[in-house]
Structure 1
Amino acid sequence: MDFATWTPFITVAAAISGILLGWAGRSRAINQDIAQQASADALQRADIEFIKRGVDDIRLDQKREVLIVVVALLFIGVILKKTPRVADWLIPWLLTVSGVGLAWGVYGSH
């Protein structure tokens, strides 16, 4: 057999091996992309959980501080109501101003 007879077989074998190698390389790249994306997603979820915990801590602190303001306003309201010189229509206005002042004092001016 001469070289001309083997040429088509070699060409077909080279084409098939090229297709198989290309497919195997692409499959490997897809698997690596999936693994990298999963790692990035896990990191993002961990970051989100960290942020959620921080927000929950802030909310707990705010609830405590708001409770202080509410109790103080209740106490001020009872005192104003029992004071004969303060008109009833004036009490909500005084409590509003007091509430703003207390909230500003508890939370700060920022």
Structure 2
Amino acid sequence: MSDNRDRWGIPGTYVFDLQLSRRGYAINKMCHSLRLAENRDLYLADEDAYMTRFGLDAEQKQAVRERNWLRLTQLGGNLFFFLKLGATLGHGLYPIGAQMRGESFEDFMKTRNVPGAT
């Protein structure tokens, strides 16, 4: 897969274009399915079987197993879809954002304008 950044010239950014959308279709379809409680239960009962059901390839499965949110983005995962996966696993938006930036949660939160956040 070519690096999406090379085509757009935006360092550190992965543009969710048609090519990346096609690449991540299985990830996004699986994550979208997690909006239903019964699917979350199935996923948590057997993560590998659930990923196979949606046709994730080995690289995508590894990124999910590692909870590597940046890699999921690079593989075509869309944040709005994989937040459903994060919620299923108990990972919120800010911890996901921190990991994607390679920062600790505490350092990441220092860059947010969130009243009352520590």
Q: TM-score range by the shorter chain?
A: under 0.3
Say which structure is richer in helix: 1
Structure with bigger gyration radius? 1
Q: TM-score, normalised by structure 2?
A: 0.24
TM-score, normalised with respect to structure 1: 0.25
